[in-house]
Amino acid sequence: MSIRRWLPVLMLACAIPAASAQPTAPKQPPPPVVVSCEFLEITASAGTTPSVDPALDKLKKKFKKPPFSSWNVFKLDHSEQKSLTQKKLETITLKQGTVEAKLFGIVNKSQLRLSISLTVSDKNIVNTTATFEGGDYLVYGHSLPNNDGHLLALTCK
């Protein structure tokens, strides 16, 4: 058969794959997982007049329960909003020390797996790895020499 008869077919065969081919954009890695966490450094003490810093309203009810019920004055010393990127260690400087936080990842879409290391006055107090729901609080606490309490509350979303 003459090539003339196949010419339109050949042109179609070339045009269809060329037109239907997707533009080859460079394959990008998936966007990094980032969560926003709020770190609250709190000093708890016993005073004649109970008071809770207005910025701590969300924790006010918890402060009425042990182990916080030993104190009635809760003062916010430092507040910091920090974005945590997966597998990246972040350091938050507190009034009395530092916190190192590392996000390991998201679990079941609503939980995050996080490691926290709290150091106060150059002394490592506690290191944890926890999985908790976004919106819930983790509160780390220890007593100071003057029997005041030193708390670190954090929540992420």
Partner 1 sequence: MAARDDIELMQHADGELDDRAAADVDARLERDPDARKKADSLGQISELVRSHLELAADDVPQRSFDTIWRKVDREISPTPEEDTGPWARITGWLDRHRGHVITGAVSAGAVAALALLLRTPDDGTSAPVRSTAIDVQPAALRVAPEIESIDTPDGEGTVLNLEDEDGHTTVIWVSPADTVEGI
Q: Which residues bind partner 1 (CB under 8 A)?
A: 4-5, 7-12, 14-16, 18-20, 22-23, 25, 27-28, 31, 33-36, 58-59, 61-62, 65-68, 83, 106, 109-113, 123-143, 156-157
Q: What distance in Å separates the CA atoms of residue 61 and residue 52, rounded to the nearest whole number? A: 10
Burial group, residue 150, by CB count within 10 angstroms (0-12, 13-18, 19+): buried
Burial zone of 128 (CB within 10 Å; 0-12 exposed, 13-18 middle, 19+ buried)? exposed
Q: Which is nearer to partner 1, 91 or 130 (CB)?
A: 130
**11 vs 46, which CB is nearer to partner 1?**
11
Q: Is the peptide bond before 145 cis (omega within 30 degrees of 0)?
A: no
Minimum CB separation from partner 1 for residue 60, in Å? 10
**Shortest distance in whole angstroms from residue 63 CB to partner 1:** 10
CB of 17 to partner 1, least distance (A): 9
Which tokens go with 99? 């916190």
Q: Residue 125, CB half-sphere, CA atoms under 13 Å: how many? A: 19
The residue (of 89 and 126) whose beta carbon lies closer to partner 1 is 126
Residue closer to partner 1 (CB basis): 12 or 48:
12
